[in-house]
Amino acid sequence: MTIQWFPGHMAKARRQVTEKLKLIDVVIELLDARLPVSSRNPMIDEIVSGKPRLILLNKADLADDQVTQQWIRYFAKQGIKAIPIDALSGRGVNALPQECQSLVEEMMEKRRAKGMQDRAIRAMILGIPNVGKSSLMNRLAGRKVAQTGDRPAVTKAQQWVKVGKTLELLDTPGILWPKFEDPLVGLRLAASGAIKDEIIDFQEVALFLVAYLRMYYPDAFKARYQLEELPDSKIAILDEVGRKRGCIIGGGNVDYDKVAELIIREARSGKIARISIEHPDDSFTLDMARVSMDEITPY
């Protein structure tokens, strides 16, 4: 199954972002720390070209910290500063106003040279659905100014929010792009919760997660599901987890829908471990996530 999702309001949001850019001093790009590149809309590079930019790696509390540090170095090589944050707890969020100030200092100096007074920095927050934009807005404002929810596409309109006297933020709806050229991007986004569960195949996404966790986090996976070893077959792994967790249907067979959803929910919530499902030097391939005919043989 190829995962694609581009609701109509997202096309409208893209037009609105383009129209508002002339008012903006700095762009704050919010990414999921567990999958920074896959959660980064490639259209944004075109839309905000030339504007100072700061990357926030949100949900860093759920990501593998060593991998997050690799991503920080990855973006630094591109001349973009990336900061790990947790919008829900507030970790790292307090540094945001000062970081924005640093990015626009040259512009402010030019304003002062012309005899103009300093004003609040105008920043735009951009990111895909369910990456935590509304939670960040509420944390920075110190009050509930944006609706939040553990599902994508909660924010549907733009709004300005004041953060003290030095920063004004423009929130925007999450914008995905019309087509994922790499199927792995769709799988990673689905695994993270960025795409509506109603349109994804839980078994397909779970098989991707099982293959990825077996490759990068085998010990954490075994510990979570009390497995002595991880079979070579992904189906066999689902069988073992299903039986351990009681995901059984008539005849004593494993309920693959139920065990698939279980693994996805626990991976998203960090119950398996702090995991990143994308690495800067990733060697994972789509073939690794697929099931061969040999694996379909009943166990």
Find the range with the poorest average confidence among 11-15, 123-127, 276-280: 11-15
C-alpha of 53 from chain center: 18
User: In the structure encoding, which two tokens stand for residue 260, read together?
Assistant: 């698939």
Higher pLDDT, 146 or 225: 225
User: How distant, in Å, are the alpha carbons of 12, 130, 181, 212, 219 from that of 3?
Assistant: 21, 16, 10, 18, 30
Higher pLDDT, 100 or 15: 100
pLDDT in tens, 211-244: 999 999 999 999 999 999 999 999 999 999 999 9
Instruction: Give CA–CA dist 76/91, Å, rounded.
Output: 21
pLDDT bucket at 82, cuts 50 / 70 / 90: very high
pLDDT attached to residue 155: 43
Q: Provide DSSP, 198-256.
A: GGS-HHHHHHHHHHHHHHH-HHHHHHHHT-SS--S-HHHHHHHHHHHHT-B-GGG-B-H
User: In the structure encoding, which two tokens stand for residue 298, read together?
Assistant: 């009943």
Find the range with the poorest average confidence among 4-18, 45-59, 132-146, 235-249: 4-18
pLDDT in tens, 5-40: 555 555 666 777 777 888 899 999 999 999 999 998
Residue matched to tokens 């510990």:
223
Rounded mean pLDDT, 121-145: 84
| Beta-ladder partners of 81 | 54
Given a contact cutoff of 8 angstroms between Cβ atoms, the answer to whether 194 and 152 are in contact is yes
Percent of the chain's residues with pLDDT above 90: 53
pLDDT in tens, 186-212: 899 999 998 889 989 999 999 999 999
Higher pLDDT, 143 or 83: 83
Alpha carbon dihedral 290, 276, 193, 250, in 10-degree steps, equals 50
pLDDT bucket at 4, cuts 50 / 70 / 90: low
Closest Cα partner for 142 from 103, 86, 93, 84?
Answer: 93
Most confident of 132-136, 150-154, 214-218: 214-218
User: In the structure encoding, which two tokens stand for residue 6, read together?
Assistant: 């581009």
pLDDT, averaged across the chain:
86
Given a contact cutoff of 8 angstroms between Cβ atoms, the answer to whether 211 and 237 are in contact is no
User: How distant, in Å, are the alpha carbons of 23, 53, 97, 134, 161 from that of 165?
Assistant: 17, 21, 10, 20, 11
Burial, 282: exposed, middle or buried (Cβ in 10 Å; 0-12, 13-18, 19+)?
middle
pLDDT attached to residue 154: 42
Query: DSSP E strands: which ranges in the chain?
Result: 26-32, 53-58, 81-84, 121-126, 159-163, 167-171
Q: How many CB atoms lie within 10 A of CB 153?
A: 19
**Residue 72: which residues within 8 A CB-CB, separation 6 or more?**
57, 82, 83, 84
For the chain, domains (ranges, CATH) are 8-171 (3.40.50.300), 201-296 (1.10.1580.10)
Residue matched to tokens 């991976």:
267
pTM score of the predicted model: 0.87
**Residue 202: which residues within 8 A CB-CB, separation 6 or more?**
257, 260, 261, 264
